[in-house]
Amino acid sequence: MTENWKHQQPYAYWLECVRGLGRRTRWELTERAGSPKAVYDTPEEEWREILPEKKRKALGQARAGMDPEEIYLQFCRHPVHYLPNTHPGYPARLRKIPDPPFGIFLWGELPPPGQPAVAVIGARECSEYGRYMAERTATELAAEGVCVVSGMARGIDGISQRAALQAGGKSFAVLGSGADVCYPPENKSLYEALKTKGGILSEYLPGTQPNAGLFPQRNRIISGLADIILIVEARERSGTLITADMALEQGKEVWVIPGRLTDPLSAGCNRLMKQGAGILTSVGEMLEETGLRQCHADGSGTFGTEPEEKEKAACREGETLPHKARNGKSAGIFRYLDDYPKSVERLQRESGMEYRQAVCELMELCMENRAEQVSAGQYVRKR
């Protein structure tokens, strides 16, 4: 479908403009028809089996009332760019998450695919300690060449993004509004800076105003664009923890900054620590343990690719892969499992195994009832 992406652009944008269709419906329609243009060309009645009458009528009215080429030509005058899933520039990291956006509206740049990215998130009403740690951590991440991804919200999000830019790094904001709508308004200066020193992303049409129901959905994009998620401060019941759950579903690692037991703003982080989240004591240590520093330093260009592709690239370059696990009752990887879910990639790094060997070991452990797969690509030790 991506071969004729230029031809598909107006029809993908037209599909975004059809009122009453959600992203999952757009995905289903294009997958069944084969392309956005094929959706446009398909008569309304042919969707009877999969769409309720209201949505079929919405498609028919949009076909009659909007010319895709014309509305897209008008949109192209806007400084915001549109990258549907048919576009070759659509972020590869987002293609891998369980519920990817149908398209991305972008003002500025996308996170470079070969550069490490950390999502720094936390409480809107943060403490001075939280502010200090967000600034310090983002500054150190920028110095290491790591992009900072967040939601440009009040508190930890905006503080970390501003610090990353001031340190000369890149930062990217995912909004719960249109990419051309600055929210919150007090972060206007940060919003303007991100246009030239990073990027502003949204899955919503330009002009979409912020709405409470849109913010939880955008959190999956924040975690999807990042390699790991770092939580600075979070209450026991917090939207930040929703992002942590989404990150785990995506197979991402979650790290936290520990706080005082008596501080409600640290309750969420401390709970995640009990569940086995990574504990940040220094940025360097976190990057070493997760392999992000090595990927950035060696310039191999394999960062962010599938593990199988990393192996192929290593073989092509004559590198020696880490030792394989020894034969036996899956002893190699078992000692790296714990009560907190870990991804295959993390277990691979910690054990020094090849990816395929790690997967085989995990499957054997699950069959032996010594390990359990709790979600896609996430494993725990079974007690």
Tokens 């398909």 belong to residue = 42
Strand partners, 294: none
First to last CA, the chain: 47
DSSP character at residue 31:
H
pLDDT digit string, tens, across residues 299-351 = 443 333 333 343 333 333 333 223 333 333 345 788 888 877 788 778 888 88
Sign of the torsion angle spanned by Cα atoms 29, 79, 173, 227: positive
- CA-nearest of 98, 82, 351, 64 to 205 is 82
At residue 294 the predicted structure's pLDDT band, cuts being 50, 70 and 90, is low
How many whole angstroms separate alpha carbon 368 and alpha carbon 356?
18
Q: Which two tokens stand for residue 354?
A: 């090849």
pLDDT above 70: residue 356 = no
- The answer to whether residues 177 and 155 touch, using CB atoms and an 8 Å cutoff, is no
Residues in the chain: 383
Q: Under 8 Å CB-to-CB from 7, ≥6 apart: which residues?
A: 37
Phi, psi of 277 (to 5 degrees): -65, 155
117-292 CATH fold: Rossmann fold (3.40.50)
Return mean pLDDT, the chain.
85
Q: Which pLDDT score, from 0 to 100, does residue 5 have?
A: 86
Phi, psi of 356 (to 5 degrees): -65, -40
pLDDT digit string, tens, across residues 138-185 = 999 999 999 999 999 999 999 999 999 999 999 999 999 999 999 999
Q: What percent of the chain has pLDDT over 90?
A: 60
Q: Which pLDDT score, from 0 to 100, does residue 361 have?
A: 81
For residue 273, which amino acid is it?
A: M
Phi, psi of 221 (to 5 degrees): -75, -40
Q: Exposed e or buried b for every residue in 89-102, given b needs 16+ CB within 10 A?
A: ebbebbeebeebbb
- The answer to whether residues 310 and 296 touch, using CB atoms and an 8 Å cutoff, is no
Q: What percent of the chain has pLDDT over 70?
A: 87
For residue 266, which amino acid is it?
A: S
314 C-beta neighbours (distance < 10 Å), count: 16
**171 by DSSP, 3-state: which?**
strand
- The answer to whether residues 374 and 380 touch, using CB atoms and an 8 Å cutoff, is yes
The angle subtended at Cα 260 by Cα 259 and Cα 264, nearest 5°, is 90
pLDDT digit string, tens, across residues 62-105 = 999 999 999 999 999 999 999 999 999 999 999 999 899 999 99
Ranking 146-160, 168-182, 213-227, 353-367 by mean pLDDT, the lowest is 353-367
319-381 CATH fold: Arc Repressor Mutant, subunit A (1.10.10)
Q: Under 8 Å CB-to-CB from 213, ≥6 apart: which residues?
A: none
**231 by DSSP, 3-state: which?**
strand
Beta-strand pair 371-375/378-381: antiparallel
